[in-house]
Amino acid sequence: MSEPDQRIHEDGSPDRLAIDTIRTLAMDAVQKANSGHPGTPMALAPVVHTLWSRFLRYDPAAPDWPNRDRFVLSVGHASMLLYAVLHLAGVREIDADGQPTGKPAVSLDDIQQFRQLSSKTPGHPEYRMTTGVETTTGPLGQGCGNSVGMAIAERALAARYNRDGFDLFDHDVYVLCGDGDMMEGVSGEAASIAGHLKLSNLCWIYDSNHISIEGSTDLAFDEDVGQRFQAYGWNVLHVDDANDTEALAEAIATFRATSDAPTFIVVHSVIGWGSPRAGSEKAHGEALGEDNVRATKQAYGWPEDAQFLVPEGVAERFSAALADRGRPAREAWEALFARYRETYRQEAAEIDELRRGKLHSGWQQALPSFDADPKGLASRDSSGKVINAVSPHLPALLGGAADLSPSTKTDIKGANSFEANEYGGKNLHFGVREHAMGSIANGMALSYLRPYTATFLVFADYMRAPIRLAAIMELPVVFVFTHDSIGVGEDGPTHQPIEHLATLRATPGLDTIRPGDANEVAVAWKVALEHSHEPTALILSRQAIPTLDRSKYASAEGLERGGYVLADAEGRVPEVILIGTGSELPMVVDAHERLTAEGVRSRVVSLPSWYLFEKQDRAYRESVLPPAITARLAVEQAGSFGWDRYVTSDGGTITMSTFGASAPLAKLQEKYGFTVDNIVKMARELMEKAQ
């Protein structure tokens, strides 16, 4: 197969040859798949080539090196840009256990399988699927938010572990983002907090091409983004032409010399550069077509009919440029860490655990237990006690709330706030930025930390995307949600969640836990922190919940199986099963005691985690909910959606079918039927129906 004609290939340099290789690989992959976005990879190939070949501190042979620079492709639709670079860089694959396989992370065959079933080159980059992909991107703005979490993590790790002469953590985070990212509100939230924290290890490279799916961004977007970022407290630089690699290199060098602010580099590009249809929506959102591909290759001085061509020496030169800088840096780091281990054994052991995704051993012994108490305490309060009990034993645990820590009880007492110039603090203040809070937490989890976030359950809607992405990426983030029901009372329906539990429970891979008393809260935190590949949503009350007498009722450790028999019919076959979660569980127990006193054989099932319960084998599930017992009643101050799985068509629920109202809690419970009297009444009706 013929090589590109160097005579008409603009400057004929090896760098330019590599840049056009990235472009043509992207065109060919999208054309073969007849699906994808060729324009952005074509336009930004010079940007990514310059960053990777001249600046990124990254060893292709060890892509999990802890102090590597991170590269985040927030414009995930341009995934072929990243796949082409990973291929040319010679990045080596690492398996799920962190072991090298000896295979390339992205082979040329993988590129030819772009967007195909089970390939390592899906339509948008996916973490855990493709080595070298630092985070799953695609929903615009999420990569931007993740990058802030990564930058926070670097600062937190440096504050805890760096010592004089031992700068173990000093890496940078680079992001490639576009107009769509800038339009999404999450990027503005994330940028605002990054500027406040003066994260000078963070650099966003903004592709300002003025094209979106609908056409020119003038249709809906004409602000000066650079001025906006100046207002956020960022250092803003401009590169007038994406093909001007020297101007870009100068801008990146300026970023690396900046120590008091994050950097925002505005790069002006023409989408689909070199294509006869440059600037069109076709170059942005679909294959160019065979004729346009040939014409574009001709403009590059490329063999028109060559497909997936990597000219001789291109990959070798690109990989060497990256490895010649990254390998010595990585080897020097490993030698530094070996010396560090001799002096700081405990800290080194902690770092080893973090790299393996493990928590510091022995923390479970710090979990509190709670005595029986008819008054009890709100599960948000017991959760706060658990956080404070385990935090001293978990150096990787840090988090905070969206301006609600006094209400969510998530402050770590005696710990400093994580702020600019105080990066060793464990209390994060996200401000009223729920969406960015979730995406930032994901970025932290991608960088060895164990973050938690907190807000009211009704505001889970503001962070749906990062919760979903945490589940897709299998990140062990803990999302704390308080004020979990109509128990919010006088705040009214705008603050009373109804459908939120159902939507969280419907998210694959997310463990949604609604504990029913203080001891279930402690076990719920144990489960959440022991998860290594699942995020957890902890659903907690504002109002006090009685602490059950565990000498009388089953141990709260039953929560580890998702659901368990809390109280039973004393060795006899139950006539009715009462199922409860959260603040309704003690109410269900009271109804059980009344029914028992009246001679009814009643069973109480606590079912705080449907996710964990469904993981149990069929025999266990049927031992808790025997199929023969059809008189079943579920009680939960939320929507009924999903409960039919457990109560079946012959059972019933006391749940919400409308939004709530503004009133004292007792009035609301009476209005909507959340009383012991009503539970007893409905239980008897279901028993009669079953008979």
* 598 labelled catalytic: no
In one-letter notation, the amino acid at residue 19 is I
The β-bridge partners of 384 are: none
Helix ranges restricted to H, 369-433: 379-390, 405-408
Backbone torsions φ then ψ of 520, nearest 5 degrees: -65, -35
What Å distances lie between residue 489 and 378, 383, 650, 676, CA to CA?
14, 21, 32, 19
What Å distances lie between residue 650 and 453, 482, 563, CA to CA?
39, 32, 20
Instruction: Give yes or no for a contact between 344 and 54, defined as CB atoms under 8 angstroms apart.
Output: no
Which helix (H) or strand (E) element contains residue 101? strand 100-104
Alpha-carbon gap, residue 81 to 52, rounded angstroms: 12
Q: Which two tokens mark 271?
A: 């989408």
Residue 298 has a CB neighbour count (10 Å cut-off) of 15
Q: How far is CA 452 from the centre of its chain?
A: 11
Alpha-carbon gap, residue 455 to 470, rounded angstroms: 17
Instruction: Give yes or no for a contact between 618 and 677, defined as CB atoms under 8 angstroms apart.
Output: no
Q: Which two tokens mark 436?
A: 């960015």
For every residue of 4-63, DSSP letters joined together read P-TTTSTT--HHHHHHHHHHHHHHHHHHHHT-S--HHHHHHHHHHHHHHHHT----TT-T
Helix ranges restricted to H, 215-279: 225-232, 245-257
Task: Give the residue from 531, 534, 528, 529 showing the smallest Cα distance to 473.
Answer: 534
Give me the half-sphere count of Cα atoms (radius 13 Å) on the Cβ side of residue 301.
17
Task: Give the residue from 618, 554, 630, 546 showing the smallest Cα distance to 587.
Answer: 546
Alpha-carbon gap, residue 570 to 587, rounded angstroms: 20
Burial class of 108 by CB neighbour count within 10 A (0 to 12, 13 to 18, 19+): middle
DSSP letter assigned to residue 419: B
Alpha-carbon gap, residue 309 to 475, rounded angstroms: 37
Residue 528 has a CB neighbour count (10 Å cut-off) of 23
DSSP letter assigned to residue 77: G
The β-bridge partners of 212 are: 215
Catalytic residue among 126, 184, 434, 534: 434
DSSP letter assigned to residue 212: E
Alpha-carbon gap, residue 272 to 131, rounded angstroms: 27
* Cα-only R_g, the chain: 28
Helix ranges restricted to H, 115-244: 142-161, 179-183, 185-197, 225-232
What is the residue whose two structure tokens read 């006690």?
385
Give me the half-sphere count of Cα atoms (radius 13 Å) on the Cβ side of residue 214.
7
End-to-end Cα separation, the chain, in angstroms? 81
Q: How far is CA 546 from the centre of its chain?
A: 34
Alpha-carbon gap, residue 475 to 145, rounded angstroms: 15
- Residues 6 or more apart from 475 whose CB is under 8 A from it? 442, 445, 446, 535
Instruction: Report, as residue numbers or ranges, the catalytic residues.
Output: 434
